Amino acid sequence: MVQRFYEVMFIVRPDVLDEDLDKLIAGLETTITGGGGAIRSIEKLGRRKLAYTVRKFNDGNYVLLTVDADGKLIAEVERRLRVIEPVIKFITVRMDEETKRLDKVKALRASRKKLSAQPIAAPAPLAAAVEETPAPAAAVAPAAAIPAETVPEAATATV
């Protein structure tokens, strides 16, 4: 059995008492620990407004469980959440793949940041050659020195 890291979030009806919610959480906790899993944390996120009406409810009590378990145990927890009447919605997310992906992205960003922090300097021989080469005289001549016949009309027209 491979232990994986999951987040199980479920929403309980808003009219459920705190004592009943605690019993429901304790029941899920015994299911998880009895099945060989481990609970990392239990967070009661409180009563929040739902994005849309679910089973004629507009708010619900949110609970987040972070769990180390195998797939069969998570399937059993989901089955129990489906049949527990006060639970109106739930979702389970496997987080070990997500944390792996986030660690990879962080490492990539850190390596990019490290590369961009290094100053980019021209090689010494090239910089010396640029300083020694004089600029052509035509490139530094002021615009007034250019005869009017060579300037196109579009450049002299005013808007």
Q: Mean of the pLDDT values across residues 135-139?
A: 56
* Rounded Cα–Cα distance for residues 110 and 134 (Å): 43
125: in domain: no
At residue 116, the pLDDT reads 79
Residue 37 lies in a domain: yes
Residue 120 lies in a domain: no
Return the residue matching tokens 């469980």: 65
Confidence of residue 88 (pLDDT cuts 50, 70, 90): very high
Burial class (CB in 10 A: 0-12, 13-18, 19+), 25: middle
pLDDT tens-digit map of 25-67: 999 999 999 999 999 999 999 999 999 999 999 999 999 999 9
Residue 159, domain member (yes or no): no
- Three-state DSSP state, 87: strand
pTM for the structure as a whole: 0.64
pLDDT score of 122: 57
Assess whether pLDDT exceeds 80 at residue 158: no
In a domain, 153, yes or no: no
Task: Kindly tell me if the per-residue pLDDT of 142 is higher than 90.
Answer: no
| CATH classification of the domain holding 89 | 3.30.70.60
Q: Is residue 146 part of a domain?
A: no
Determine the Cα–Cα distance for residues 151 and 144; give it in Å rounded to an integer: 11
Q: Look at residue 109 and tell me whether its pLDDT is greater than 70.
A: yes
Residue 112 domain-assigned (yes or no): no
Predicted pLDDT of residue 131: 58
Query: Model confidence at 98, in pLDDT bands (50, 70, 90)?
Result: confident
The domain total for the chain is 1
Which residues span the domain enclosing 10? 4-96
